[in-house]
Amino acid sequence: MGASNSIEFKNITKRFGRKVANENISFSLNKGEILSLLGENGSGKTTLMNMLAGIYYPDEGEILINGEPVQIRSPKDAFRYNIGMVHQHFKLVDLFTAAENIALGEKGRLDRSRIAAKIREISSKYGFIIDPDKKVYEMSVSEKQTVEIVKVLYRGADVLILDEPTAVLTPQEIGHLFTVLRAMKADGKSIIIITHKLNEVMEISDEVAVLNHGSFIGKVRTSDTDPQKLTEMMVGHKVALEIRRPMPKDPKPRIVVNDLTVRNHEGVNKAHHISFTAYSGEILGIAGIAGSGQKELLEAIAGLQVITAGSIQYLPDGKKPMELVGKTPMQIRQAGVSLAFVPEDRLGMGLVGSMGMSGNMLLRTWRRGKGIFVDEKISRDLAEHIREELDVSTPDIMYPVRRLSGGNVQKVLVGREIASAPSVLMSAYAVRGLDINTSYTIYNLMTEQKEKGVAVLYVGEDLDVLLELCDRILVLCDGHVSGIVDARTSNKNEIGLLMTTIGGQQPSGSVPAGQKSGKEEQQDA
């Protein structure tokens, strides 16, 4: 290896018991380049980078820095070789200031003026925006990430590893982060970005290394590839990267939320005075920075949260509106509300991990039995149907779902809820952590339900997907509705601004073309 390569992985293998997380991986990272590390969920990306950061140690193979084999047995060793990692879940002390977190671990008495001066120097050099005296608990997600990046630069890192750095940032924050990364690259820093967002891979990286099930598939120049080729490298075969979005047919109000305020289980109001209408035959996307009230909003409609004010009305075809506030999930179902909910917590709230597919189907079908007897054949038939239709990989329908991969667990959950033939389908982060194949299966299922006249509420974090999949997008900011936009005419910048702004002008996409407002429809009903 020549002197121009700063990092080289040579035949790296890492096992956890019988599971092989990385197998015989070899590739290099050049100085002054940005490399994207791409792969499906569980492909070994983070494990490999954790070895470079000193959190794990390889069972076989070696890591070379500037051509010399090195032993990196701890994060302290990694910093000795000027390697720093910014993890997806930040490792900051909330009660400390930015400066205190950045200097944490330094020996001796803290020289606050020297620390602040060095932080300002780093910030000025690369374009960071940071207040050294601000407490972490007062910061936004992007500010916390800035502290983490400055922290590793403060300690002298020339090689930076960023694990899913854009997962919870707005488009504007992503744009600023990329500007900073380019400035660091121009200064000779080497950067590895672990990601799954293909559009961002194409925008920011010089090279892309692809892993599949723990094996190294190849490394390509970004300028010589495209998203379709990268997807094929990741999954091993062609994948149609197209989301169907037919126009809504005869949309009618199905859920009308008016002036809703929701308090979470800790007694904190997470949704404030929210009003909107979800229509049949459309997908209403819900966007916002993490923790903006998306989860609590869906759980409130499902009867799982404390509602302190407002109303939620269900409008079935040909019947009077039905108020859902004050009803438990069981009461909502007994009242004839045809509602299906795919929660964020798949195994905690959605499925019983110790039960198989058949047992989990029984949770939805047990009322179809006769008298006190449960008809297990119904649940077994439904489990087999979902297994076949959604290609669920499981030894048998009695196999505990907690032992299935995340993608297969999600297929079981979504399949079960759709099998209940709902008129309203709600989903929170349905594709989080899933591979591309499974993600597109879920998108297609959502679209099929829309075509059947179902009102679909879809909480997502990938704005590109929301703009492609949805008809309208409700944007939340700090628990408030900051706008409702037409997904066909909006863009990421508009949504990104709404994600960080409360109030603003009346949104143009609040009612489907040719339709009355939710309040007018409610009065007509």
Residue 398 in this model has a pLDDT that exceeds 50: yes
**Is the domain of 205 the same as that of 279?**
no
The DSSP secondary structure of 82-132, one letter per residue, reads: TEEEE-SS----TTSBHHHHHTTT--SS--HHHHHHHHHHHHHHHT----T
Q: What is the pLDDT of residue 512?
A: 58
**Is the domain of 501 the same as that of 490?**
yes
Q: What is the pLDDT of residue 238?
A: 79
- What is the band of 470 on the pLDDT scale with cuts at 50, 70, 90? very high
Domain boundary among 421, 442, 476: 421
Picking from 42-56, 288-302, 505-519, which range would have the lowest pLDDT averaged per residue? 505-519
Q: Angle CA(397)–CA(403)–CA(406) in degrees, nearest 5?
A: 100
**Is the domain of 209 the same as that of 301?**
no
Average pLDDT, rounded, for the chain: 87
| 278-290: average pLDDT | 94
- What is the band of 40 on the pLDDT scale with cuts at 50, 70, 90? confident
Higher-confidence residue of 520 and 237: namely 237
Within-domain flag for 499: yes
Residues 183, 412: Cα–Cα separation, whole Å: 45
Q: What is the pLDDT of residue 121?
A: 94
**Is the domain of 66 the same as that of 128?**
yes
Q: What is the pLDDT of residue 521?
A: 39
| 470-496: average pLDDT | 95
| 207-230: average pLDDT | 94
Token match 């959950």: residue? 413
Higher-confidence residue of 446 and 2: namely 446
**Is the domain of 75 the same as that of 175?**
yes
222-231 CB contacts, 8 Å cutoff, 24+ apart = 222/36, 226/202, 227/198, 227/199, 227/201, 227/202, 230/38, 230/198, 230/201, 231/198, 231/436
15-18 CB contacts, 8 Å cutoff, 24+ apart = 15/59
Residues 295, 76: Cα–Cα separation, whole Å: 38
3-state secondary structure at position 138: helix
Within-domain flag for 345: no
Residue 9 in this model has a pLDDT that exceeds 50: yes
**Is the domain of 27 the same as that of 83?**
yes
Q: What is the pLDDT of residue 375?
A: 64
Q: What is the pLDDT of residue 377?
A: 85
Nearest-10 Cα torsion for 266, 268, 270, 273: 140
**Is the domain of 202 the same as that of 280?**
no
- Indicate the DSSP class of residue 382: H
Higher-confidence residue of 237 and 353: namely 353
Query: Structural domain of residue 371, as residue ranges?
Result: 350-421
| 330-344: average pLDDT | 86
Residues 179, 170: Cα–Cα separation, whole Å: 14
Residues 142, 131: Cα–Cα separation, whole Å: 13
How many residues comprise the chain?
A: 525
Query: Measured between alpha carbons, how far apart are the two ends of the chain, in Å?
Result: 74
| 354-375: average pLDDT | 69
- What is the band of 513 on the pLDDT scale with cuts at 50, 70, 90? very low
Domain boundary among 235, 270, 298: 235
- What is the band of 210 on the pLDDT scale with cuts at 50, 70, 90? very high
H-helix segments, 376-435: 376-389, 406-419
Residues 397, 395: Cα–Cα separation, whole Å: 7
Q: What is the pLDDT of residue 168?
A: 75
Q: What is the pLDDT of residue 420?
A: 86
Residue 343 in this model has a pLDDT that exceeds 70: yes
Within-domain flag for 437: yes
- What is the band of 93 on the pLDDT scale with cuts at 50, 70, 90? very high
Nearest-10 Cα torsion for 143, 144, 149, 150: 70
**Is the domain of 198 the same as that of 146?**
yes
Within-domain flag for 133: yes
* pLDDT tens string 68-87: 999 999 999 999 999 999 98
Within-domain flag for 344: no
Query: Please, is 460 exposed, middle or buried when counting C-beta atoms within 10 Å of its C-beta (0-12, 13-18, 19+)?
Result: buried
Number of independent structural domains in the chain: 3
Within-domain flag for 153: yes
Within-domain flag for 241: no
Phi and psi for 182 in degrees, rounded to 5? -65, -35
**Is the domain of 212 the same as that of 294?**
no
pLDDT > 70 fraction of the chain, expressed in percent and rounded: 92
3-state secondary structure at position 414: helix
* pLDDT tens string 190-201: 999 998 788 889
Residues 44, 58: Cα–Cα separation, whole Å: 13
Q: What is the pLDDT of residue 347?
A: 82
Within-domain flag for 179: yes
* pLDDT tens string 122-147: 999 999 999 999 999 999 888 999 99
**Is the domain of 95 the same as that of 152?**
yes
The CATH number that applies at residue 453 is 3.40.50.300
Residue 46 in this model has a pLDDT that exceeds 70: yes
Q: What is the pLDDT of residue 365?
A: 59
Domain boundary among 386, 421, 456: 421
Q: Angle CA(95)–CA(99)–CA(105) in degrees, nearest 5?
A: 85
**Is the domain of 314 the same as that of 358?**
no
Higher-confidence residue of 455 and 515: namely 455
Q: What is the pLDDT of residue 454?
A: 95
- Closest alpha carbon to 388 in 365, 412, 354, 404: 412
Query: How far, CA to CA in Å, does 361 sit from each of 50, 233, 355, 365, 417?
Result: 39, 35, 10, 6, 9
**Is the domain of 125 the same as that of 198?**
yes
